[in-house]
Amino acid sequence: MIYSITGKVVRKEEGAVVVETASGIGFRILVNARTLRELPRKGSQVRLLCALHVREGAIELFGVLSEEELAFLSLLSSVSGVGLRIANAILGLGELRLVAAAIKEGKLSFLAAAPGVGKKIARRIVFELREKITLPDAPRAAAQIAKDADVVEALVNLGYRRREAREAVARLDASLTTVEERLRAALAALTAAKRRSH
């Protein structure tokens, strides 16, 4: 079983990265949006921890950057109806502590924002995993989720699409703690992205 792959980033695409090992073999590894953002630039060395999934004769590799994320990926995919693809999408919603807090606190709308996850699956995840997750700073993380929901709503009210608003908020630095700071930073990022696309 493949546990990790170390090599050079040769290609990045939406939802995946190609890593070429020293032996010259290129592995296409599926990654979530957050992991993709955190990967080093093309040509740099990277080590991805992997979960292997065989589906309808096809082999899929899912990659994350830390042991904690790999363990959480495994925990999420243990839930009935949640495969590695959905588990990986949930991990892409934000920092690991925020995802864990969302499960612990039963924040269904936060979890349902991941592609392929509706309220029904979110409810099942909370039901099956809530007691298995220990989180020392759960109240702080839950408060952060509530603030980020406010930021997303403010951005939607300003005319941004909900998906791009969520993505902008997920990219924000953890050092920004107030709604005002996070809204200002998200607006700056969205404005810069719009300028680049023109």
Domain ranges of the chain: 4-64, 67-132, 138-197
- DSSP structure string for 62-84: EEESSHHHHHHHHHHHTSTT--H
What CATH number should be reported for the domain whose range is 4-64?
2.40.50.140
Q: Are both 4-64 and 67-132 of the same fold?
A: no
Residue predicted with more confidence, 45 or 98:
45
In this structure, what are the phi and psi dihedrals at residue 117, rounded to the nearest 5 degrees? Answer: -115, 120
What is the rounded distance in angstroms from the CA atom of residue 42 to the CA atom of residue 19? 10
Instruction: Give bridge partners of residue 148 from the DSSP assignment.
Output: none
For the full predicted model, state whether its pTM sits above 0.75: no
CATH number of 67-132, picked from 3.40.640.10, 1.10.150.20, 3.40.50.10860, 1.20.810.10: 1.10.150.20
Terminus-to-terminus CA distance in the chain, angstroms? 45
What CATH number should be reported for the domain whose range is 138-197?
1.10.8
Q: How do residues 158-180 score in pLDDT, each as one tens digit?
A: 888 887 887 788 777 777 878 88
Name the DSSP class of 132. G
Q: Which of 16-20, 71-75, 102-106 has the highest mean pLDDT?
A: 16-20
